[in-house]
Amino acid sequence: MKTQLITIILVLFSNILFAQIKLDPELIDLAIKMKKEFPKQEYVSLGTSSIYNFSYGDSTVECEELLEEKIMSLNENVTFYEYLIFNDQVDIGFVYMKNYKGRKRKLVVKKEKYKSNGIFYDDASVATFNMFLTTRGDNATYFVETKIKDVKYFTKAYFHKSYPIAEVSLVLNIPDWLELELVEENFDGYDIIKSESYNSKDKINTITYKLKKAEAMLGGNYTISAVQELPHLLILSKSYKKKGKTNTLFNSTQDLYDWYASLIKEMDNKPLVFKDKVESLTADAKTDKEKVENIFYWVQDNTRYIAYEDGIMGFKPANADDVYNKRFGDCKGMANLTCSMLKEAGFDARLTWIGTKSIPYTYATPSLAVDNHMITTLFLDGEKYFLDATEKGVALGQYAYRIQGQDVLIEDGESYILDSVPEFGDEYNIKKTIYKLSLIDDKLFGSAIEEFHGEEKTNLYRSLGNVSKSELFERVSKYVSNYDKSNGIADLHISNYSNRSKPIIFEYKIVVENKITAVDVEKYFSLELDRKFSSMNVEENRNLGYDFQQKVHNYYEVTLSLPANYIVDYMPDSVFIDNSEFLFDVKYIYNKEENKIKYTRKIIVKNGVVSSSNFDTWNGAINKLKEIYNDQIILIDNQ
């Protein structure tokens, strides 16, 4: 009865409020229903439709997208924002809206150059517009025309957005003269309905995909790329016929390489600009490898990395001398500078295309969607080295997680070389902490050593490599004390903090105070000093995987020597969880003969990713980990 009364009051209040704009009662009811279903959402889409049409351009095929979407507010006074990226290959045409009564109104679109850290980019811009919705149930439909000048740049079509959509429709009107291949990615588990119809008069094959109830893309910290988990269409533009002639687009990997190579031929590098710098970097080097390192590290340390968006400049490298003079560039410009300087020094270096781990496709797929990055491949003494100058602090022969195991397309004149970057296991990134402690007068005294390898070392190198010595020791002291003033640090020794080729090592003495509670003959304490991963529960309702951006291998060990008069009465339980993506192995062991406790904690994320399907198991492991962290050892004085 009470629930019914509350519902009646809510409906009456809603009807009074919505009467101001005379909304359809069914829409009001729908808004109330959807607010209960999506309590955190300010608005939802009642339906979105993208229709793709194709036509001949001057020298290729053009693509037009007609987007129509109806947005309904679930709150009062809601502003819906839309952002559209465009560039030298993508134009925004008409943009307008119709309100809930069907009245048409032009939308004000703000266009500006994309910028980052105050630097503007010539090839990328963003267009923004908004619609204001006054009450719950108020709705409006917006219409956008987007023109893609070259069909090669039309590579993907998506179903999901950052808010729920009642129904998504993707419609492709493909003329007989255009050969497209539609690759259905990640469709398993989704009720996507495909239909086809043919218009014999216009000779157009219409392919339609529909998905009902597309959930909002919900990520958070360290979100995996949407194309790795969510359904989407990968569009492969193969060829087209015009005036009886078949024109090839990207029908094979060779076609893709030929187009890339044509852009490389347009470069006008002037190596004389940096000839003296190359000579100074290599003059005192004793080996070829040392010469390469000097050049590679100089580009890393002296060139600022900035990222360009899509468009022709998303694929064409800037001239090496321009990057050298400006001291900044995107991945292609930095790769070109690295390659050109190595060539100037007499080495066999090649520009190389690669897709990072955020892209799940290989070069078996001839599409501009297959890669998003450029590096340099060096051929030296019968081996290949893959040089990514955007990764500051990475040593020669070491590779960042984001390119490990990925396909590479290496320039080789009129042909190309396919290979892959070596991939390292999780142990490559081991972060190891080992304490040797003794319990004396309700304090823990002892020594510790911490080692940082792989990505852990690289990240630390970037943080510490250029700080003063006094600041270095201050920073590291705070870090190893876990930012806890009750942990006293002395005799700190730091090794290899400015050497990108070796692991960074911290060695120090430590005194831990205020961590032991004494009650009569008992002592209570934990050997967990840093509580790693305790805050890493995955957010509720998140549906995109967790990407740590490196393979994780965290090992922590404490050996505690006990006073002769104390014995162990209780130790926390162990945790062991091992599946395809991660491992938790946490345990206490008591050696009665030596009267020592050994606590070990090993946490591994094997491939650097926790999939959304594994979130429940992951959260369960984190909760068990926190139980151990919050539990305590109990010692008893047996004298």
What pLDDT does 213 receive? Answer: 95
What pLDDT does 401 receive? Answer: 96
Q: What is the pLDDT of residues 363-384, one digit of tens each?
A: 999 999 999 999 999 999 999 9
Q: Where are the beta strands (DSSP E) in 327-396?
A: 328-329, 348-354, 373-380, 383-387
Chain centroid offset of residue 526 CA: 35
**What does 457-503 look like in DSSP terms, one character per residue?**
HHHHHHHHTTS-HHHHHHHHHHHHTTT-TTEEEEEEEEESTT-TTS-
Q: List the one residue out of 145, 132, 128, 142 whose CA is nearest residue 83.
A: 128
Mean pLDDT of the chain: 92
Output the CA–CA distances (angstroms, integers) from residue 285 to 292, 294, 345, in the order listed. 9, 8, 12
What pLDDT does 313 receive? Answer: 53
Residue 325 has pLDDT above 60, yes or no: yes
Contact 460, 586 (CB under 8 A): no
The three state secondary structure string of 562-579 is: CCCCEEEEECCCCEEEEC
Higher pLDDT, 122 or 539: 539
Residue 331 has pLDDT above 60, yes or no: yes
CA 505/CA 482 separation, integer angstroms: 16
Residue 562 has pLDDT above 50, yes or no: yes
What pLDDT does 162 receive? Answer: 93
- CB atoms < 10 A from the CB of 375, how many? 29
Q: List the one residue out of 302, 296, 299, 331 whose CA is nearest residue 316.
A: 331
- CB atoms < 10 A from the CB of 161, how many? 17
Chain centroid offset of residue 30 CA: 36
Q: Which residues are CB-contacts of 326 (< 8 A; sequence separation ≥ 6)?
A: none
Q: What is the pLDDT of residues 595-617, one digit of tens each?
A: 999 999 999 999 999 999 999 99
Q: What is the pLDDT of residues 242-262, one digit of tens each?
A: 999 999 999 999 999 999 999
Contact 143, 99 (CB under 8 A): no
What pLDDT does 21 receive? Answer: 67
Contact 235, 178 (CB under 8 A): no
Q: What is the pLDDT of residues 222-233, one digit of tens each?
A: 899 999 999 999
Amino acid letter at 167? E
Residue 312 has pLDDT above 70, yes or no: no
* Dihedral of alpha carbons 454, 459, 460, 462, sign: positive
Q: What are phi and psi of 175, to 5 degrees?
A: -70, 155
Q: List the one residue out of 533, 483, 529, 475 whose CA is nearest residue 504.
A: 475
What pLDDT does 123 receive? Answer: 60
What pLDDT does 541 receive? Answer: 82
Q: List the one residue out of 38, 31, 107 whose CA is nearest residue 76.
A: 31
Q: Which residues are CB-contacts of 270 (< 8 A; sequence separation ≥ 6)?
A: 319, 320, 321
At 337, the pLDDT band (50, 70, 90 cuts) reads very high
At 88, the pLDDT band (50, 70, 90 cuts) reads confident
Output the CA–CA distances (angstroms, integers) from residue 197 to 171, 204, 226, 508, in the order listed. 11, 9, 30, 73
Average pLDDT over residues 57-67: 95
Angular region, 504: left φ>0, alpha ψ -120 to 50, beta rest: beta
Q: List the one residue out of 83, 69, 72 whose CA is nearest residue 114.
A: 83
Angular region, 215: left φ>0, alpha ψ -120 to 50, beta rest: beta
Higher pLDDT, 497 or 320: 320
Q: What are phi and psi of 559, to 5 degrees?
A: -110, 120
> Based on the number of CB atoms within 10 Å of its own CB, is 492 exposed (0-12), middle (13-18) or buried (19 or more)?
middle
Identify the CATH class of 40-245. Answer: mainly beta
Q: Which residues are CB-contacts of 4 (< 8 A; sequence separation ≥ 6)?
A: none
* Dihedral of alpha carbons 350, 355, 356, 361, sign: negative
CA 351/CA 270 separation, integer angstroms: 16
Output the CA–CA distances (angstroms, integers) from residue 4 to 9, 11, 89, in the order listed. 9, 11, 57
Instruction: Give the tokens for residue 1.
Output: 């009865």
CA 166/CA 377 separation, integer angstroms: 48
Cross-strand pairs, 204: 175, 199
Helix axes 275-282, 288-302, angle to 10 degrees: 130
Question: On the CB side of 522, how many CA atoms lie within 13 Å of its CA?
Answer: 8
Q: Which residues are CB-contacts of 393 (< 8 A; sequence separation ≥ 6)?
A: 300, 457, 458, 459, 461, 462, 465, 500
Question: On the CB side of 593, how many CA atoms lie within 13 Å of its CA?
Answer: 0
The three state secondary structure string of 151-194 is: HHHCCEEECCCCCCEEEEEEEEEEECCEEEEEEEECCCCCCEEE
At 446, the pLDDT band (50, 70, 90 cuts) reads very high
Kindly tell me the number of DSSP H helices and DSSP E strands found in the chain: 10, 36
Contact 73, 42 (CB under 8 A): yes
What pLDDT does 115 receive? Answer: 54
* Domain ranges within the chain, ordered by starting residue: 40-245, 253-420, 426-637
Q: What is the pLDDT of residues 391-416, one digit of tens each?
A: 999 999 999 999 999 999 999 999 99
pTM recorded for the entire structure: 0.90
What pLDDT does 307 receive? Answer: 72
CATH 3.40.50.850 is the classification of domain 426-637: no
Topology (CATH level 3) of domain 253-420: C8orf32 fold (3.10.620)
Say if strands 104-106 and 383-387 run parallel, antiparallel, or are unpaired: unpaired
Average pLDDT over residues 230-243: 97
